[in-house]
Chain A
Amino acid sequence: MSQLELDPVTAPVSPPRRAGRRARTSAFWLALPLAVAAVAVFVLPLTGLLPDGGQNLDATRQPPAFLAGGSWAHPLGTDKLGQDLLTQFVSAGRLTIVIGLVGALVAIGPGTLLGLLAGYFRGWVDRVISILIDAQLALPFILVALAIIANRGSSLPVLFLVLALTGWAVCARVTRAATLAIRERQFVVGLRAAGASEPRIVFRHILPNLAGTIVALGTLQVGTAILVESALSFLGLGVVPPMNSWGSMLASGQDELSQAWWIAFFPGLAITVLVLLVNLLGDALLTHHDPRKRRR
């Protein structure tokens, strides 16, 4: 592949095409388990199949069903109050997925907009936005998070604010670069000659051409949002009781690691697998939309 890329003139058309198709197929196989998991955490609670989530002080710290001493009444075991861990796992997964999606949206929304404006209008608009991007990227996210949370306390809106602030800059930077390239394409001049207004050119022509890149960026951002949320929740700064996310389950399980490792293990595993799949999906989408690998 790399050898063919060195020589674009003689390279046959099919390899880039095949690369595009391969990226699309792998994107499908990565998206499938993610979709199944997402549907599962929303549908399972409605089916009545999950164990009752209430306290039961007679059955605390029960191991999962497949370990000695476990029972199928609590497939993933119970915590120190005897509450069913599978029920918690599902509802925490729901919140984790919602936080990942909303957290990505609040970051790529403003990020895309600012990147578009900087790339299209250049000049002082670009200079101001670029300085903001660089400043944001220079700030360690934990500092930003601590500053905001210390001020406002932890709640979901504050968490989304943190996710927006820590995520927009990367999106803005990528969108800006892509916009700079597209605005030089001649069809933009043609549209201007037809009397198209600047907003029309930016939002009806440049933005749709960036859609693939933005979707890929957004997917990667879902992974980042979940990791940030987990880290904050682990520190007790993100999701706080009575709400539960995989990150906060991990946090509450850490004290019990020696007696009941499974409390922290399953949420930890879930975060790892989820973020891994999401990132691989994002990479596959990015490859698919890489102009070098796509036939014009």
Chain B
Amino acid sequence: MSEVTETGVPGDLARHPRTPESDTPVLEVDDLVVEHRDGGTGTLFRAVDQVSLRIAAGESVAVVGESGSGKTTLAMAATGLGPRGRGDIRLLGHSLSAVSRTQLRRLRPEVQVVFQDPHGSLDPRQSVRSGLRELRALQPERTSWIDDADLLGRVRLAPDLLDRYPHQLSGGQAQRVCIARALLMRPRLIVADEPTSGLDVSVQADVLALLRQIRATTGAALLMISHDLAVVRSLCDVVHVMYRGRVVEAGPCDRVFGTPENDYTRELLAAMPGARWRSRR
């Protein structure tokens, strides 16, 4: 476990180049339960029910399921960014319930999120440049590896976009800026919550290609939430199928999509876009 404490310290990144083979899982979740309290009636709604999840370094894991099945809640609670749940969460080997506030703040940049609505993911009052400047001020060591223009180049944006405000960016451009901001932090895990659903069809493929390329070049693990089976299949190794807060089936994509064991999985596969792939097999 000595490796664990070392990986938890961002400053050590340079001295310990990460390898996809590193055996500490990026994220381990055991029996996570998340309940939302209904504002009006005060009753509890179990959005995530006894979910366990394990993401190895560099691994790509998908969560699929119908709307409202708890995918976003799971991803946010599992990374300590959203509602607190019950159950054990270990980020890079650190139990979230045991780390101090300061430790948590150093641990957090290891997980970066990309959301569905790129415009909602950027502060409307900040230009791209000042947003990046703030990230650099927050994590000086972690972000010193690349300058702004190069960073935008990595997500195939021209540097003259640096002085734009979010409302002056197209959806695709804004999503690339979000990805660049995530990339800047050199995270070990990127959570992508339906990163292409809010985009025009013509730019969806570009954004996915970008995510794939980032994974290949940085070795970051990916937790991908998607409605599109073709996307999941092309990007992910493992898939978890959620239904009403529970994971009803999990396994390698090929196995789950090829020979689904659960009735709900079969139904979902039939209803989801990209399912044609299954019949071709």
Contact = CB atoms under 8 A, between A and B. Distances in A.
A187 B111 contact: no
A192 to B, nearest CB: 6
A196 B113 CA distance: 14
B82 A190 contact: no
A2 interface: no
A194 B111 contact: no
A93 to B, nearest CB: 36
A195 interface: yes
A185 B135 contact: no
Nearest to B135: A194
Interface in A279-296: 295-296
Interface in B110-154: 111-113, 115, 117, 119-125, 134-135, 138-139
Nearest to A195: B105
Given A189-B81, A208-B125, A209-B125, A194 B109 contact: yes
Interface string B181-215: 10001000000000000000000000000000000
Nearest to B109: A195
Interface residues of B, number: 28
Contacts of B134: 194, 196, 204
B180 to A, nearest CB: 12
A197 B102 CA distance: 10
B113 A187 contact: no
Contact of B108 (A185, A187, A193): A193
Contacts of A185: 120
Q: Is the interface of A mostly helix, strand, loop or mixed?
A: helix
A24 interface: no
B242 interface: no
B178 interface: yes
Given A186-B117, A189-B81, A296-B167, A195 B123 contact: no
A190 B139 contact: no
Given A186-B115, A186-B120, A192 B125 contact: no
Contact of B120 (A187, A194, A295): A187
A190 B108 contact: no
6 contacts: A186-B117, A186-B120, A190-B121, A190-B181, A208-B125, A296-B124
Interface of B: 76, 79, 81-82, 105-106, 108-109, 111-113, 115, 117, 119-125, 134-135, 138-139, 167, 178, 181, 185
Given A193-B111, A205-B125, 17 more contacts: A186-B121, A187-B120, A187-B122, A187-B123, A190-B112, A190-B121, A190-B181, A191-B123, A192-B81, A193-B112, A193-B185, A194-B139, A195-B108, A195-B138, A196-B138, A205-B123, A296-B119
